[in-house]
Structure 1
Amino acid sequence: MAITASMVKELREMTGAGMMDCKKALNETNGNMDEAVEYLRKNGQAKADKKAGRIAAEGLVKAVVKDDKVAAIVEVNSETDFVAKNADFQAYVEEVANQAVATEAADMDAFLSEAWLADNTKTVKDALTEKIAVIGENLSIRRFEKVVTDGCVVPYIHGGGRIGVLVEAETDVINDEIKACLKNVAMQVAAMSPKYVSRDEVSAEYLEHEKEILLAQAKTENPEKPDNIIEKMIIGRLNKELKEICLLDQAYVQDGDLSVAKYVEKVAKENGANVTVKKFVRFETGEGLEKKNEDFAAEVAAQMGN
């Protein structure tokens, strides 16, 4: 299969590996993108799910919470940062967030089809179309998530709307100290971007897959070491990875002597509460999106000799 510059560019954005490494990986796997990612990871040239491509989509993330029990978070995209800073656009994003708090929609199609709360003579999609005409840029309600709890849910917005987080906890005490604790946990999620709340959420399939990757890496880096030493290395590396991707295992950024779990436990004890972090939602503006960059594509083609 002919390996094109655009394929190399895509793999490079997915993995952060070097251009020629990406070309080699695609050649070795006959252009299969998933297999090429695996090839790069096994050779230590990429990390799982690393996104090295430049996120170019603009917009805002907004979160709204009602009575500590019901919350929603939305991402609305614009073409330029100039529009993202526009007061009219910001007010519109807040309306979308309020719509999401009230919605019963389970997906984006249903959400766009429902009556717009600010003017029920039109749908959410109609209101979006009108806002596009007024602002003069293409806008998109990219995603939303609603959280309803018997415990407590808190929001955190970072960078003026670049990153938004909701954290839900089961708790028998809701006061300012508990809410401040959960906000600190939400700040941790914003900064450290975990994948899971705890190890209990990590599937056996994921663990086996990571062991396979780590085994290949360890054997590549240490070809002379016996299997029993390699096995110990894999266990150590897997535990280190789990501490990075599981929120409660992470070192608490405001006190490195505590894990997040120990921090929550400490605050709960001080307040005579039982607190369990159940869920988090993290949206980052433009995450996984990128505008076309023809110059970069040309650079890839030139270095490939195409």
Structure 2
Amino acid sequence: MAEITAAMVRDLREKTGAGMMDCKKALGENGGDIEAAIDWLRKKGLSSAAKKSGRVAAEGLVGVASADKAAAMVEVNAETDFVARNELFQAFVEQAAKIALETGDDIEALRAAPFLGAGHSVGEELTRLIATIGENMSIRRAKRLQVPQGVVATYVHNATRPGLGKIGVLVAVEGASELDALETLGRQVGMHVAAARPEALDTSAVDPAALEREKAVLREQAAGSGKPENIIEKMVEGRIRKYYEEVVLLEQVWVHDGESRVKAVAQKAGVKLTGFARFQLGEGIDKPQGADFASEVAAAAGTQQTPPPGG
């Protein structure tokens, strides 16, 4: 029997997009013959993932999972919203979030981790799912938060099913209160984060480059007033405070009452908010304009879609 080397497996993976274990098995079944192994994978439906890898995947699901004093969140993308309703896809996102509790923020570590009960990695399971469902998919990002004492609460806006949806939030709440009380407050903060979209936890965490850009814009605006330099600086300082109220979680107005500051709510509850994360499905992904997946299929088949009635 021909020796199957790591280089051969890597070469086959690059040609087909199939998982490592599938490539190794294909080479073994075909005596190390690369071309025969490619055909074997194609017959098994495992080489189709590579053909789909160039298509934009901006739909999908955000999934969250919780553990003692920790929680994790992942975003897994697909091409169409239809796939987000697929039970196989939903189960994959759920398991990926649970595995992220161990692997943390590192996507490559998550992809390389064993997929529970499958005998292969998360990345290889995703490749199988791509071949089964027929759409490009990707694990875009992951986040894990942990606290020494307290909870990391989770919130999913408009959940498809428990722990899965289009917007997910993690909130780290430290304190000695009963866990139920911490969870309740953490969920309320999660709802606030989902709605208010803060960019930083506190003023010290604001991106310095973003802050300098804001100051430069404000100085230029204030300079048009014709006021003295010292007055202009005070005007900028006042507007920066307003800027903090817009982008800093602890400085924002609590959405649940419309008047308190988030930091005051936390102080009153005797807890400390030490971190948060917010994932909104597809944010920042450039989606192609004027085309959809159905149109792409029609074009590939050499047919033209019939416009809907009244279209």
What residue in structure 2 maps to residue 158 of structure 1?
Answer: 157
Inter-CA distance 139–217: structure 2 relative to 1 (3 Å threshold): same
Amino acid of the structure 2 residue aligned with 1:92: F
Distance 1:140 1:203 in 2: 28
The Cα of 1:204 is off from its aligned counterpart by: 5.7
Which residue, out of 233, 253, 256, partners 1:254?
256
What residue in structure 1 maps to residue 283 of structure 2?
Answer: 287
Do the aligned residues in 2 keep the contact of 1:56 with 1:290 (CA within 8 Å)? Answer: no
For residues 91-102 of structure 1, what are the structure 2 equivalents within 5 Å? Answer: 91-102=91-102
More displaced stretch, 231-240 vs 198-207: 198-207
What residue in structure 2 maps to residue 109 of structure 1?
Answer: 108
What residue in structure 2 maps to residue 146 of structure 1?
Answer: 144
Inter-CA distance 203–127: structure 2 relative to 1 (3 Å threshold): closer
Give 5+ residue unaligned stretches, structure 2: 1-55, 160-164, 292-311
What residue in structure 1 maps to residue 240 of structure 2?
Answer: 238
Distance 1:206 1:238 in 2: 12
Inter-CA distance 84–203: structure 2 relative to 1 (3 Å threshold): closer
For residues 45-60 of structure 1, what are the structure 2 equivalents within 5 Å? Answer: 57-60=58-61
Deviations 1:175-213 (A, max 9, x none): 322211111111111111111111132366654443222
- CA-atom RMSD in angstroms: 2.1
Give 5+ residue unaligned stretches, structure 1: 1-54, 269-274, 296-306
What residue in structure 2 maps to residue 25 of structure 1?
Answer: none
Inter-CA distance 204–74: structure 2 relative to 1 (3 Å threshold): closer
**Number of matched residues?**
230
Amino acid of the structure 2 residue aligned with 1:289: I
Amino acid of the structure 2 residue aligned with 1:281: A
TM-score with structure 2 setting the length: 0.69
What residue in structure 1 maps to residue 303 of structure 2?
Answer: none
TM-score with structure 1 setting the length: 0.70
The Cα of 1:294 is off from its aligned counterpart by: 5.3
Do the aligned residues in 2 keep the contact of 1:74 with 1:96 (CA within 8 Å)? Answer: yes
Distance 1:110 1:178 in 2: 31
Amino acid of the structure 2 residue aligned with 1:188: H
Amino acid of the structure 1 residue aligned with 2:58: A
The Cα of 1:265 is off from its aligned counterpart by: 1.8
Relative contact order: is structure 1 or structure 2 higher (C-alpha 8 Å, sep ≥ 6)?
1
The Cα of 1:65 is off from its aligned counterpart by: 0.5
Inter-CA distance 204–70: structure 2 relative to 1 (3 Å threshold): closer
Do the aligned residues in 1 keep the contact of 2:57 with 2:136 (CA within 8 Å)? Answer: no
What residue in structure 1 maps to residue 122 of structure 2?
Answer: 124
The Cα of 1:56 is off from its aligned counterpart by: 8.2
Point out the structure with max Rg over C-alpha.
Answer: 2
Do the aligned residues in 1 keep the contact of 2:167 with 2:280 (CA within 8 Å)? Answer: yes
Which residue, out of 217, 228, 231, partners 1:229?
231
SS in 2 for 1:60: strand
Distance 2:62 2:221 in 1: 37
Distance 1:111 1:117 in 2: 12
Q: Does 1:169 align with 2:173?
A: yes
Do the aligned residues in 2 keep the contact of 1:95 with 1:118 (CA within 8 Å)? Answer: no
Distance 2:57 2:242 in 1: 31
Inter-CA distance 203–86: structure 2 relative to 1 (3 Å threshold): closer
Which residue, out of 193, 197, 208, partners 1:193?
197
Do the aligned residues in 2 keep the contact of 1:70 with 1:147 (CA within 8 Å)? Answer: yes
What residue in structure 1 maps to residue 85 of structure 2?
Answer: 85
The Cα of 1:106 is off from its aligned counterpart by: 5.4
Amino acid of the structure 2 residue aligned with 1:251: V
Distance 2:182 2:218 in 1: 39
Deviation >3 Å, runs of 4+: 202-209, 223-226
